[in-house]
Amino acid sequence: MMEFLTQCRGIVGDAYVLDAPADMAPFLTDWRGRFTGKALAVLRPGSVEQVAALVRACAEHRVALVPQGGNTGLVLGSVPDASGAQVVLSLVRLNSIRQVDPVNRTMTVDAGCILQQIQEAAAAEGCLFPLSLAAEGSCTIGGNLSTNAGGTAVLRYGNTRELCLGLEVVTPQGEIWSGLRGLRKDNTGYDLRDLFIGAEGTLGIITGAVLKLYPQPKASITALAALPSPADALQLLVLMQDHCGSSLTGFELMSRYCLALVAEQFPQLPKPFAEPHPQYVLLELSSSESEQHAVGLLEHAIGAALERGVINDAVVATSVAQSAGLWQLREHIPLAQAKAGKNIKHDISLPVSRIADFIAVTGPRLETAFPGCQLVCFGHLGDGNLHYNVAPPVGISNEDFLDNQDKVNRVVHDSVVSFGGSISAEHGIGALKRGELAHYKSAVELNMMRAIKAALDPLGIMNPGKIL
């Protein structure tokens, strides 16, 4: 392996091949601190050509590599295994905005650009890059594409897949495929771009991308509605979509337990209602006309919902600061959970129409199997995506309860699948959910996935042990 490392040093320079344990440490542990792998080295290329040369060296020496962006992934996809035989290939030095084309409404970027950097570069041109998630100050667009990240604006703009027109990829053979086409129509055979998006680094390394830009909305207005049940939240969603169409840009469900947890852990945050309600929905409307237009639309729709008895009460933010305060309640749910202790997390999706039935059925199933367990259920209801987390009963330690992870997963995921849902909505599979994927996907689907992997990466050097 000395020869391999010498070759790598020749490609990127000594400073960018890290093999001292202290230098490698920040790259080896996942974001939530659940797993620390070992690596032969961490490679930090500074150009696409260097990435390609490093991959050729890996192929020659049969060294497996783990592509890594911001290392904010939540499914153990971006960290190496425990063998010490893999290398981490960090993309963060590839961080240039290559071009902005405001007329084509596209931006061409390096894969290691931080999401926030891309949002800011778009805004500087008067445009919007709508992908937005709580990790945006640390995650990279290459990681967003490789996990097909979702976030808070999917309802209006779609997942990362829908925000990408073209890719540049280094193949497992170390060739550079330049598919950086800014075309909205391009039917010229198999869509290779779509293969690499969501592949979690198992088929190749994304080094660049052409992203879609949108006009900046003139105003965004937020409201918090209090409701009796998830079924009412679905009725509210339909009503809002009928009244507001594509102006509805956010629709987030939060249970009473979630907001109680936030109030307990972060007492300084606003408490919009005097009395608690069973469910809450955070709504966001964006207008390309004016703030007045957005407020008018929102008040009209909320009025109709109150009149029909779909909601109990609502608070409409009248300023940007108030809007931010309402969003903070939603964003602090994961933080409040983390402060309260570890729990068993599920990132699931369902047909939107079946979410209320899923919630009604799954809670009692869990209660039967784990009496007293507590559900932290919230998520992007408009996209059919729930974060359905299970915390221990009072009196049982969080650590002890984690021993039940497999059994809890089985109850939740069996229920998800029985409602036609998916066991991973936006975080991916990584190493964490590989067993669950094998359990639930059909042999036909798994075999097609394996065939694609074998065709593109016959040596199996691209992030082995992830997904498949």
Ligand X SMILES: Cc1cc2nc3c(=O)[nH]c(=O)nc-3n(C[C@H](O)[C@H](O)[C@H](O)COP(=O)(O)OP(=O)(O)OC[C@H]3O[C@@H](n4cnc5c(N)ncnc54)[C@H](O)[C@@H]3O)c2cc1C
Q: Is 45 in the site for ligand X (CB under 6 A)?
A: no
Tokens of residue 59, six digits: 């192929």
Q: Is 91 in the site for ligand X (CB under 6 A)?
A: yes
Q: Strand, helix or coil at 365? A: helix
Among 50, 71, 106, 286, binds ligand X (CB under 6 A): 71
Q: Is 142 in the site for ligand X (CB under 6 A)?
A: yes
State which residue, 45 or 392, has the beta carbon closest to ligand X.
45
Q: Is 111 in the site for ligand X (CB under 6 A)?
A: yes
CB of 128 vs ligand X, minimal distance in Å: 17
Closest CA to 149 of 116, 218, 198: 198
Name the residue with tokens 């999401």.
115
Q: Is 385 in the site for ligand X (CB under 6 A)?
A: no
Total residues in contact with ligand X, by rule CB under 6 A:
36
Cα distance between residue 251 and residue 223, in whole Å = 10
CB of 275 vs ligand X, minimal distance in Å: 30
State which residue, 134 or 269, has the beta carbon closest to ligand X.
134
Cα distance between residue 165 and residue 212, in whole Å = 7
Question: What are the residues whose beta carbons fall under 8 Å from the beta carbon of 315, sequence distance 6 or more?
Answer: 223, 224, 272, 273, 326
Q: Is 59 in the site for ligand X (CB under 6 A)?
A: no
Q: Is 54 in the site for ligand X (CB under 6 A)?
A: no
**For ligand X, which residue has the nearest CB?**
143
Main-chain dihedrals φ then ψ at residue 381, nearest 5 degrees: -60, -35
Which residue(s) pair with 348 in the sheet?
386
Among 156, 346, 413, 466, binds ligand X (CB under 6 A): 466
State which residue, 111 or 317, has the beta carbon closest to ligand X.
111
Name the residue with tokens 């069973």.
278
Q: Is 139 in the site for ligand X (CB under 6 A)?
A: yes
State which residue, 130 or 151, has the beta carbon closest to ligand X.
151
Tokens of residue 430, six digits: 């990584």
Q: Is 151 in the site for ligand X (CB under 6 A)?
A: yes
Among 31, 257, 266, 440, binds ligand X (CB under 6 A): 31
Q: What's the residue count for the chain?
A: 468
Closest CA to 359 of 172, 462, 234: 234
Which residue(s) pair with 170 in the sheet?
176, 205
Among 18, 39, 78, 129, binds ligand X (CB under 6 A): 78
CB of 426 vs ligand X, minimal distance in Å: 3
Q: Is 74 in the site for ligand X (CB under 6 A)?
A: yes
Q: Is 254 in the site for ligand X (CB under 6 A)?
A: no
Q: Is 456 in the site for ligand X (CB under 6 A)?
A: no
Run of H or E residues at 17: strand 17-18
Tokens of residue 381, six digits: 């209801």
Cα distance between residue 139 and residue 137, in whole Å = 6
For 98-125, b/e burial (b = at least 16 CB within 10 A) is eebeeeebbbbbbbbbbbebbbebbeee
Cα distance between residue 216 and residue 346, in whole Å = 33
State which residue, 70 or 166, has the beta carbon closest to ligand X.
70
Sole window of 34-42, 147-155, 237-245, 273-281 interacting with ligand X (rule: CB under 6 A): 147-155
Which residues of this chain interact with ligand X, rule CB under 6 A?
31, 66-74, 77-78, 91, 111, 133-135, 139-140, 142-144, 146-147, 149-151, 200-201, 205-206, 426-427, 430, 463, 466
